[in-house]
Amino acid sequence: MDLISIRDLTKENVKEILDLADGIADGKKKIDLKGRIAATLFFEPSTRTKLSFQSAAMRCGMTYLDFLPELSSLKKGESFADTIKTVEGYADVLVVRHAKEGSARLAADMTAKPVVNGGDGGNQHPTQTLIDLFSIRRMKGKIDGLNVTLLGDLKHARTMRSLVYGLAMFDANVTLISPKGLEMDPIYLKEVEKKFGLKVKLKGEPEFRDADVLYVCRIQAERFADPYEAQSIMKKFRVKKEDLDGTKKDLAILHPLPKINEIDPEIDKMPQARYFEQAHYGVPLRMAIIDYVLRKG
């Protein structure tokens, strides 16, 4: 089985993965994949996704092959297709990250081995979405009925599109807050509304007093023609300590990381800051994913 998009999974599939990850995180479930090999083929930089997949593989008893583009035959002109077809003979599961949208799906079409999408351009990042859902459920005890606010550049952040789909699947209440011109594609929102009945709230100003979960992503300054406009918007949409006055005491602030300056460093020390905990959940969740795709495959 491949995991290329959150759309590849039903609600029942997602619950099965989250339940398995719960068992792993609580020490009640052991995954034994000794003798199996995972290949992490990352054609663009990564810290959390790559290291957590490698950690997950090792904690499952697997070994891993670490593909380094700068030291590979890509430097000699080898194609993406030939790389995939070669590595499939060396590993039992392939985790692929690439800058081009659709690359993970292309890799899956080229091999009978399970392929997990570690992020393909601005398209999909399904394992991050599963980590987000897992984090919310662990922190809040549920997902359905929660008020979840997504704040930042919602046009270009691949994590946000996938997350809206996952939140809609679990009947959360979703509010989207973004600067003008950086709103999430309305076509995508109509698709989610048609499939799940989710009607998101849209705001152009940072305000999240009713939020149970605040999920922040950065404003991508490189997208702006005017650097002064970029700085002004980044300042306006930066979450500061005083912005948490009047919010729920048990507010959970999440972030896919890396964060740059969109969250005041002072917030890191506050109980609302849960993004490092969220990143750590990547290991049990990705252990569950590796086990899941190998079993279903």
H or E stretch at 203:
strand 201-203
Is 97 tagged catalytic?
yes
Which residue of the set 28, 34, 75, 76 is catalytic?
76
For residue 295, the SS3 value is helix
- How far is the C-alpha of 43 from the C-alpha of 285, rounded, in Å? 22
Which residue of the set 40, 50, 83, 97 is catalytic?
97
Is 48 tagged catalytic?
yes
For residue 176, the SS3 value is strand
Is 127 tagged catalytic?
no
CB 11 within 8 A of CB 282: no
Which residue of the set 49, 83, 149, 175 is catalytic?
49
Is 125 tagged catalytic?
yes
For residue 225, the SS3 value is coil
Contacts of residue 131, defined as CB under 8 A and 6 or more positions apart, other chains included, come to 278, 281, 282, 285, 286
Q: Nearest-CA neighbor of 2 among 127, 121, 89?
A: 127
Which residue of the set 36, 98, 105, 125 is catalytic?
125
Contacts of residue 127, defined as CB under 8 A and 6 or more positions apart, other chains included, come to 3, 49, 116, 117, 118, 282, 285, 286, 289
Buried b (16+ CB within 10 A) or exposed e, 64-91: beebeeeeeebeeeeebeebbeebbeeb
CB 192 within 8 A of CB 164: yes
- Give the C-alpha distances (Å, rounded to integers) separating 110 from 36, 74, 260, 292: 20, 18, 37, 20
Is 255 tagged catalytic?
no
Task: Tell me which DSSP letter residue 124 carries.
Answer: B
Which residue of the set 48, 100, 248, 280 is catalytic?
48
CB 170 within 8 A of CB 195: no
Tell me how far apart the 2 most distant CA atoms of the chain are, in Å. Answer: 58
Residues serving a catalytic function are 48-49, 76, 97, 125
